[in-house]
């Protein structure tokens, strides 16, 4: 190799490392969330799922089956399956999603054996284990999804199918997970499968609630005689407001309409302000399940 080619490769490596480090600094909150959530996920799996021989879905379900039947380390199986999926779908994933997913898989794979080795005085009742594991895994999964990353597995398949074919993989996931649960019957028995399905149900409810909790806002429509004062009050709370010129169809008079997205506590403050300053104001408050844009959920997380 010539010296000039060597220097060129060194520059490319430096450029890559610089871009990587910039990405880490820019997304350090998401990375920290990924690390903490995967530690929580590993804790739930090590202390509630595996000791009670509960089944799971996707890549984790296959890894747990291999562990129950052949005593394979579940972390190794999960890492190997995800590595193959990442190699298969790397062309269709953006760098941020890919990086956060690799981080998620690495933390879970490394931490799981250590947490399995710990013997903690935790409840051994299967019903309690069902609820606790579902809640802990749901909290971790919901927060991971909110960062714009994933835990790997079928999330990688979903991303590739969505970007390559413009389709979701809901039906595909149903078939795969049904097959895994049927296989689980012959390995762990009907009782454990029922408990496992109940835990997955709790997991699904918790994930939905966590995702909604972090993104839920209140949308306020305000008709007031003091729009400038109300706008100044809202912006002083760090929220934007949009003014739309309307017309009262009964009076035929101009009626400015203010639209803003607020946190629940800010709605209470707004109503107190209007009660004092303009008791004749009209306000309509409704739930906004998801808000994407500046000051709210980032487009990067989608």
The domain locations on the chain are 3-214, 216-301
What is the reported pLDDT for 36? 94
Percentage of the chain with pLDDT > 90? 13
DSSP label of 300: G
Which range in 3-7, 134-138, 250-254 is most confidently predicted, on average pLDDT?
A: 134-138
Interval 190-215 mean pLDDT: 81
**171 is written with which tokens?**
């039906």
Q: What is the pLDDT of residues 252-298, one digit of tens each?
A: 888 888 988 887 778 888 888 888 888 888 888 887 766 555 555 55
Interval 83-111 mean pLDDT: 85
Q: What is the C-alpha radius of gyration for the chain, rounded to an integer number of angstroms?
A: 25
Q: Is 269 exposed, middle or buried (0-12, 13-18, 19+ CB in 10 A)?
A: middle
What is the reported pLDDT for 206? 85
Q: Where are the alpha helices (DSSP H) in 118-221?
A: 126-147, 154-165, 170-188, 190-215
Interval 96-104 mean pLDDT: 84
Interval 138-150 mean pLDDT: 83
> How is domain 216-301 classified at the CATH fold level?
Alpha-Beta Plaits (3.30.70)
Percentage of the chain with pLDDT > 70? 81
pLDDT band for position 96 (cuts 50, 70, 90): confident
How far is Cα 65 from Cα 78, in angstroms, rounded to an integer?
11
């Amino acid at each position: 190799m010539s010296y000039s080619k060597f220097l060129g490769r060194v520059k490319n490596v430096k450029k890559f490392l610089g871009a990587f480090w910039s990405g880490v600094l820019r997304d350090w909150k998401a990375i920290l969330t990924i690390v903490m959530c995967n530690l929580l996920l590993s804790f739930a799996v090590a202390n509630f799922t595996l000791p009670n021989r509960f089944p799971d879905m996707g890549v984790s379900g296959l890894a747990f089956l291999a562990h129950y039947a052949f005593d394979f380390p579940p972390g190794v199986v999960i890492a190997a399956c995800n590595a193959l999926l990442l190699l298969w779908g790397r062309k269709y994933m953006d760098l941020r999603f890919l990086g956060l997913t690799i981080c998620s898989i690495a933390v879970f794979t490394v931490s799981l054996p250590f947490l399995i080795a710990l013997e903690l005085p935790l409840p051994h009742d299967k019903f309690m284990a069902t609820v606790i594991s579902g809640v802990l895994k749901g909290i971790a999964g919901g927060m991971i999804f909110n960062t714009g990353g994933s835990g790997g597995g079928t999330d990688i398949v979903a991303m590739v199918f969505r970007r390559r074919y413009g389709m979701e993989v809901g039906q595909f996931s149903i078939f795969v997970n049904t097959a895994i649960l049927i296989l689980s019957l012959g390995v762990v028995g009907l009782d454990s499968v029922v408990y496992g399905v109940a835990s997955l149900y709790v997991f699904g409810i918790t994930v939905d609630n966590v995702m909604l909790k972090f993104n839920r806002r209140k949308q306020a429509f305000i008709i007031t005689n003091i729009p400038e004062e109300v706008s100044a009050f809202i912006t002083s709370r760090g929220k934007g407001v949009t003014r739309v010129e309307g017309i009262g169809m009964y009076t035929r008079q101009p009626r400015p309409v203010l639209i803003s997205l607020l946190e629940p506590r800010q709605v209470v403050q707004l109503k107190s302000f209007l009660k004092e300053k303009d008791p004749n104001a009209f306000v309509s408050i409704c739930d906004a399940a998801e808000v994407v844009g500046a000051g709210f959920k980032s487009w990067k997380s989608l």
